[in-house]
Amino acid sequence: MISIIIPAYKAEKYIAETINSVLNQTYTDWELIIVDDGSTDNTAQIIKQFCEKDNRIQYSFKENSGVSDTRNKGMSMAKGELFALLDADDLWNSNKLEEVNKAFHKHKIDWLFSDVIDLYDDATERIKKISKTSNFLNALLLWNGKILTAPSGIVFRKQCYDDGFRFDKQFSTAADQDFVIQLASKYKGFHFDKPLWKYRILNNSMSHDIALMEKDHIAVYRKAEKNKLFKSFWFKQKCFSNLYWILAGSWWKDGHNKKRGLYFIFKALIANPFSILTHR
């Protein structure tokens, strides 16, 4: 059985479509656990209508405590051999679980991620192909775009949870990045190189809060440094430089704060002066 965990917070606009994408799966041995993180809209009423029609769907309400704590709550309730994460506004292709189940049996893996289709407000869809890499942990730390950490594309064995893997409650916008770094540092991963889900691009997503993004992602890298996940000093410098370039671009373009952008360009060059050759 595959356990699907959805954290929901004020999700009334998209939650029905998301649940239907689970109900439409060709693989049917699953349970769906939806944890409501203190929603004050009609999220609960919509979910309960689905629960009444299908006993594979469970609903749990808790006081608002953030998405990481909410995902952890859902995982604590799960009974499946595989845990599949799904956000309340994303969609799965109908063959998602069938393909995932085959991949776990064929490749003897502990976790996987797949390619994705970006879904825009105007219903435009765009496939995001991910180039292959031989070292998932290094690719994650380099933040080179070769690993997708968005939860709706991540599936992992229950054994990882039993071993103590949780979402770190100190993180929000970078919680998925930290979680997948944890997985990659300990377990055998796999890239399913076909799109199995759709990521909804929202203008009000947490990724648009640049200050929160800065705080979270720097903390993730400091945590990785503390856990000695960088293979060498110069590799660490290169990784931090890449992080600072990303923050510089985010502040410059999305945050409309060129002064803050220049600050992170300076930090990127201090960490790795040669990075000017690839980021100019």
DSSP string, 69-116: HHHHHHHHH--SSEEEE--TT-EE-TTHHHHHHHHHHHHT-SEEEEEE
Taking the domains of the chain in order of start, what are their residue ranges? Answer: 2-206, 208-279
Q: Which fold has domain 2-206?
A: Spore Coat Polysaccharide Biosynthesis Protein SpsA; Chain A (3.90.550)
Closest CA to 161 of 32, 57, 74: 74
**DSSP letter, residue 252:** I
SS3 call for 131: coil
Residues of the chain with pLDDT under 50: 206
76: Cβ contacts below 8 Å, ≥ 6 apart = none
Predicted structure pTM score: 0.93
How far CA 265 is from CA of 225, 242, 251, 277, in Å, comes to 21, 10, 10, 13
Pairing of strands 82-85, 155-157: antiparallel
